[in-house]
Structure 1
Amino acid sequence: MFQRPQHLMTRAAQTRSVYYVEEPIFGDQGDTMALRKDQSGVTVCTPHVTQGLSADESQARTAKLLQGLVRNEGLTEYVLWVYSPMELPITAGLSPALTVYDCMDELANFRYAPPELLTRETELFRRADLVFTGGHRLWEAKRHKHSRAFPFPSSVDVPHFAAARTVKAEPEDQAGLPGPRLGFYGVLDERFDAALMSELAERRPDWTFVLLGPVVKVSREELPQASNVHYLGQKGYGDLPAYLSGWDVALLPFARNDATEFISPTKTPEYLAAGVPVVSTAIHDVVRPYGEAQLLEIAHDAQGFETAIQKLLDARGTAQATERQSRADAHLSQLSWDKTWQGMEDRMAEAAAERTTLVVEAADD
C-alpha cells in the first residue's frame, strides 16, 4: 500500500539517503539484512531472522542487524524516523542525531493492540526530539505528552487522483457493474461500519456498492453480504484513479468507535481530487475542515447516508455540483505531500542543524 510513510519517504529520498526498514521475515536462512533500492531512491531493508525464537530474542537479533546496517553503511549523523512504538526495542543500540515519531494513528485503540504498546509509546515520547501527528484530533490528544508535537494532517497528490476525471476505460472487474455506483477503498477492519453498509445496501438494492481493499481483523461473514455489494480486493495506488472514475459517489462509512476517534482519512482529499462527491460519517478530522466547509456530506446513519447519496446523485451535472467541486479544488490547491514534507523538514531544521541520512521503521499496514 502507498500511504503516508511512502509519500513522505519518497520525497525525503530526493535530497537524502533513506533506509526504510521493513518488519522481519522469519525463516531458516539465518540472520541477514537484505537491501534493495527501489525506483524512488529509497533503500528498502528487510531483516531475515531465524524462526522459532522467543519474541525477545527475535527483537535482539533484529536490533543487531539494524546496528550492522548503520555500521556497514557508514551512517554517523542520521535521523531515526519511527512509525510504531512496538519497534522501539530494536532501536535501543542506535545513536541518532535526531529521533522523530510520526504518529499516524492511536494504535492502542485498534483491535488486538499489544498491551505493552502504551508503555513503549511513553518511552518513545521520552526519546523523541519531534512528534508529528497524522491529524489535528490526534495532535490534541498527544500534544501534552511532548513539547515539540506538531500536526501534519493527511495530504494528497492532486494530479495523480485528478486523472480520474479523464479516464476513458474502467477496470474490467468494475466496468460491468450497474450504476449508480457507490465506492470505498481502504482496509476493511473494525473501523469500517459494516452494519451501516449492510442496512444501506438493503435499503437500496438498486444501488451498486464497490469495496476495494484487504479484509483485516474481521471475518468476511461480518461484512455486508447483499448481492449488490461487490468486493474487488486490494488495488494498487496507481490503479485507484481508474476505479474512482466509475463511481458516482465515494463513501467514508467509518464506524464511530475507539479505533476511529483519532483517524484522519487520507482518502478524503483523494476522493475530492478525483472529482467524486463524498458522503462520510462524522469523523472529527473529516467534519473539520471538509464538512464545515460543505465540501462533502456528513451523515450519521443508513437513512442519512441514503438521503445524502440521493442528493448528490440528483445534483450530477448541475451548477451546484460544479460550484462545490470548484470550492473543493480551491481547498486542495493548498495541499500536497511536497508541502507536508517541507513543513516537516523545517521542523527538523529547527531541532538539529546537521542530518544527512534517514533510518525509518516501517509501520503495520
Structure 2
Amino acid sequence: MLTRVGVPVETSSEQPAKDPHAPTLICFSHLRWNFVFQRPQHLMSRFARTMPVIYWEEPVEIGRKETPFLKVREADDVANVRIVVPHLPEGMPEDARDAALARLLDAHVATIKGPLLSWYYTPMMLPFSRHLAADVTVFDAMDELSKFKFAPVKLLELEQELIDRADLVFTGGSSLYEAKKDRHHSVHCFPSSVDRAHFAQARARLFDPADQEELPKPRLGFYGVLDERFDVDLLAKVAEMRPDWSFVMVGPVVKISDEDLPKRPNIHYLGSKTYGQLPAYLAGWDVALMPFAMNESTEFISPTKTPEYLAGGKPVVSTPVRDVVRHYGHLEGVQIAGDAEGFAEACDKALALSRDPESGWLAEADLMLSAASWDIVQARMAGLIDQVMGEQVDNPALLVAAE
C-alpha cells in the first residue's frame, strides 16, 4: 500500500501483485478515464494486458486548509489499470501546486521496479513530472490542444519542451503528423482506429434504449462531446430544413453553454452514455453525423467517429474535416458537405444508402476497415517502444497480438 511511504491516499482496493521486472506505464492525461472512452482508454487498456498502467488524471480541488493527497482506485472496466487523481487545496499558487504534485508523484512511483514508460497526452503535466527517470518517454498528440478553447498560455512552450524530451512522438492523424514531423527525429502517424467487433453490434437488431425508442424515424445521430468543435448553427439550419427528421445528439456538453445548443422539436439531446451503450443507440439511427465546425479547433481533428459509424453499418455525413476527406472522402458511404443546404442534401443521399445496404457501399467500407484495429495500432507503438528500450521486438512484456 502507498501509505507505507507516508503519502495520504484514499484507495478503493489493494494494489494487485505484479512481476517486479515488468515495465510500468504511467500515462499523464487531461481526459478523465470515465469521461468518454476514446484514444487514451483504447490504448491504455491494451497496454494493460501485459503491464501495469497508472492513469494520472488532472487534480481535483479540495478545501483550502486540507492536505494534498492522492485518490487511487482500480479501473472498473479494465484490469491492471490504476486511476490516480491528485486532490489539491483550492487557491494554491501554480508553483506550490507543481511542487505538491511532484511530491505526490514521487511517492507514488517510489515502489515501482523495472522499466518505466512515461506517456503524455498533455504537456501541461510536464512541470511536475519532468524529473522522472523514465526509460522511454512518449508524447501521443491526439489533438492540437493549443487550438482549443481556453487553452493555457504556456501550452505551446511546454509542448516544445515535451517534444524535445520525448523519445517518440505519435500523432492521432495525418494532419497532426504533417504539423509535427519536422519537430522531432522520431514522429509516427497513428490515426485513431476502431474496435470493429464492438460497433458491429449495431448491425444486429438491438433493442432501442428507452430514451430513444419513441423518437420518430428517420433518425440522424451524433455521439461525442458537444463543445466548440460542434457546429451548432449547422445543426439548427438542417433541422429546420428537414422538420420530419429526428436529430439525436448523444454526449456531454463541454465548454459551451446549454443555451448555445439549438432548440427544436426534432432535435433531441440524450446526454452522456457509456462506451458500452453506444452500439445500441447507433443501431437505431439511419444516418450518422459529424457536423463539426470548420475552425482552428478542428483543423487537426482525428476522424475517429467515421470508422466507428461505418463499423456499425451506418452511412456518414460529415463537414469537410481535412482528415475525413483525405482518408474516407472517396467512399460512397461517406458524404461530405460544407454548408447547411449541401449537408441536408448529403443526408438525403445517405438515407437512400441506408435503405440499400446491399448496393455495395457497405462492402466497400468494410474492405477499408479490414485493416483498421486498435490492437494493431497498439502493437506497432509497442514495437517502437521496444526498439528504444533495446529489447527484442517480440518481447511479451510489451506486445499485444494483433487481431
* TM-score in terms of structure 1 length: 0.94
1:298 pairs with one of 310, 333, 336: 336
Deviations 1:213-239 (A, max 9, x none): 111111122221111111000111000
Residues of 2 paired with 1:231 and 1:293: CA distance? 29
Which letter does structure 1 place at the counterpart of 2:295?
N
Which letter does structure 1 place at the counterpart of 2:217?
G
Asked whether 1:273 is paired with 2:311, we answer: yes
Q: CA deviation at 1:356?
A: 10
Where do 4+ consecutive residues of structure 1 move more than 4 Å? 354-358
Unaligned runs of 5+ in 1: 359-365
Aligned to 2:9: none
Which stretch of the first structure deviates more once superposed, 22-31 or 108-117?
A: 22-31
Residues of 2 paired with 1:357 and 1:106: CA distance? 31
Q: CA deviation at 1:300?
A: 1.2
2:215 pairs with one of 177, 180, 188: 177
Unaligned runs of 5+ in 2: 1-35, 399-403
SS at 2:118 equivalent? strand
Aligned to 1:33: 70
Aligned to 1:362: none
Residues of 1 paired with 2:354 and 2:129: CA distance? 53
1:336 pairs with one of 373, 378, 395: 373
Aligned to 1:10: 45
Q: CA deviation at 1:205?
A: 0.7
Instruction: Indicate if the aligned counterparts of 1:254 and 1:281 stay in contact, CA closer than 8 A.
Output: yes
2:178 pairs with one of 116, 131, 140: 140
Larger RCO: 1 or 2 (CA < 8 Å, sep 6+): 1
Q: CA deviation at 1:76?
A: 4.5
Alignment size in residue pairs: 356
Aligned to 2:54: 19
Aligned to 1:48: 87
Which letter does structure 1 place at the counterpart of 2:44?
M
Asked whether 1:209 is paired with 2:215, we answer: no
Residues of 2 paired with 1:322 and 1:35: CA distance? 51
Aligned to 2:151: 113
Asked whether 1:66 is paired with 2:101, we answer: no
Q: CA deviation at 1:30?
A: 1.9
Which stretch of the first structure deviates more once superposed, 150-159 or 51-60?
A: 51-60
Which letter does structure 2 place at the counterpart of 1:352?
M
Q: CA deviation at 1:23?
A: 1.3
Instruction: Indicate if the aligned counterparts of 1:208 and 1:229 stay in contact, CA closer than 8 A.
Output: yes
* TM-score in terms of structure 2 length: 0.85
SS at 2:182 equivalent? helix
Identity of aligned residues (%): 50
Aligned to 1:87: 125
Q: CA deviation at 1:33?
A: 2.2
SS at 1:131 equivalent? strand
Q: CA deviation at 1:311?
A: 1.5
Which letter does structure 1 place at the counterpart of 2:204?
T
Instruction: Indicate if the aligned counterparts of 1:182 and 1:248 stay in contact, CA closer than 8 A.
Output: yes
Asked whether 1:165 is paired with 2:200, we answer: no
Aligned to 2:383: 346
Q: 1:318 to 1:295 in 2, by over 3 A?
A: closer
- What's the Cα RMSD here? 1.7
Residues of 2 paired with 1:343 and 1:357: CA distance? 14
1:234 pairs with one of 261, 272, 276: 272
Instruction: Indicate if the aligned counterparts of 1:250 and 1:276 stay in contact, CA closer than 8 A.
Output: yes
Residues of 2 paired with 1:155 and 1:336: CA distance? 6
Instruction: Indicate if the aligned counterparts of 1:279 and 1:308 stay in contact, CA closer than 8 A.
Output: yes
Aligned to 2:166: 128
Which stretch of the first structure deviates more once superposed, 55-64 or 137-146?
A: 55-64
Residues of 1 paired with 2:318 and 2:294: CA distance? 11
